[in-house]
Amino acid sequence: MAIAQSLLSIPSHLTLQNLSSLCLLALTTTILTSAIQAALSPLRSIPGPFLARFTRLWLLWHFWRGDFHKTNIQLHNIYGTLSSPAALKTIYAHGSPFTKSAFYDASRNPDAPRADLFSDRDPAAHASFRRRVAQLYSLSTVVRMEDEVRGCVRELLARLGGFPESGERVDLQHWLQCYAFDVVGAVTVSRRFGVLDREEDCLGLLEALHRSLVYLTHVGVVPEVHRWLYAVVKRVGRNGMSGLFAFAAGAVGERLKAPEEEKGEVDEEGEDFLAKMVRMHRREPEKFGFLDMMMLRAELETAAVERLIPSAEPVSYQQAQKLAYLQAVISEGLRVHSPPGVPLSREVPKGGAQVDGIYFPEESVLGMNAWVMHLDKDVFGEDAEEYKPERWLVSKEDIGRMNRNTLTWGLGSRNCIGKNIALMEISILIPELVRKFDFQLVDPDSKLETHNIFFVKQKNFWVKVKERTTQGQC
């Protein structure tokens, strides 16, 4: 109706030819403005794709293709690299004045009174909230959830154990993602989501998370449209973030209605994350409110994706940590196939900054991609492009140096808060998979397909599962 009224309001003397001329003039003006801005930009000396100088549509197109992690590597090979350990420290280290860019606004509800840990661009607000919840994610707390993780591993092993007899091919990526989600449910609300049991995304959480990541990756390039586009997507019922938030709200609401323990002391050792959050809320509601719990729950949903490649089981986490080669395999796998596949963008602080000898004016947006950084030969050796777990079987000093230049979990104050959960899942599961099964690729000659929606996800990880007749001991 509004469009029709707008069309009717066009003066009758404005002919189609005049309209065409106006459109051409507007397009010409836009192109000239972009060209002048590019010519006068202090960054004009930095080499790169021609179209990328004039419009973000170039980046949006490559994000849409889903292979930007590969494109980014190619660009560095063609134009030279602006990715180095020194730049990494300047942009991401603790105390760095660089803040998250507007890209991350696309991951939050624009109508919410505050951002979550992932999307909060205010360093002070982020630090305050993180301090309040850091203990929930500490290694000592996470280890207490080990039994819940083992339960999920047993369920996954039982599911995979049914395939050798049938000879059916298995999408291993799908099963590992189901496992990761059920672990998140087990450690947060003391019950699995049931995706392993039902062999499907019965609650729609996997699909909701997928949609939210697609939205973030693309709308983050043009965050100016986020507020109105979010409203449109939400209205048609296809908003992934609102789906995850609704599930979190339901879980927390149920727990808050539950009566408190009336007698005796609460056993805090075996509590799930949600129980700990509710207890914190009841003790100090003014410091840890309902919205805080919602945002924290959303963070855990996101952490699940960071375990799409491997996952966890019955060897204890402590035992798994002592298996040097296992840990080397995990470290190398996360290096060559890092979950995040886009630059972790940051905004240059007031006054500008020098990065790798180049001056960037304030409000410029910089970012480094793990897929590029992890190929740095000065850090990882001349064979950095090869998968070689042995590179991690070195001194603690060398391991520390490589870890300081690894972007798998982010760096500094904005590193992934769910890292300990992810590593426990991975470390416990892999020994069990290796001990109990042999996996054969259905088509060994085909290349592994991936799709990059902020996280790089495998698409054709089809295998045949065979039970091992003799199981080695870890």
User: Reduced to 3 states, what is the DSSP secondary structure of residue 250?
Assistant: helix
Please check whether residue 454 is in contact with residue 217, taking contact to mean a CB–CB distance below 8 angstroms. yes
Q: Which of 430, 414, 418, 415 is nearest to 331 (CA)?
A: 430
What is the dihedral sign for C-alpha 49, 51, 54, 56?
negative
Q: Which of 1, 93, 375, 63 is nearest to 9 (CA)?
A: 1
Total length of the chain: 474
Please check whether residue 344 is in contact with residue 368, taking contact to mean a CB–CB distance below 8 angstroms. yes
Within 10 angstroms of residue 180's Cβ, the number of other Cβ atoms is 28
**Encoded tokens for 324:** 């040097």
Rounded Cα–Cα distance for residues 317 and 307 (Å): 16
Q: Which of 338, 369, 384 is nearest to 75 (CA)?
A: 369
Going along 387-442, which residue ranges are E strands? 437-441
202 labeled binding residue: no
Distances (CA, A) of 393 to 115, 326, 334, 425: 41, 10, 15, 22
Using only C-alpha atoms, the chain has a radius of gyration, in whole angstroms, of 25
Q: Which residue positions form the known binding site for heme?
A: 416
Q: Which residues make up each annotated binding site?
A: 416
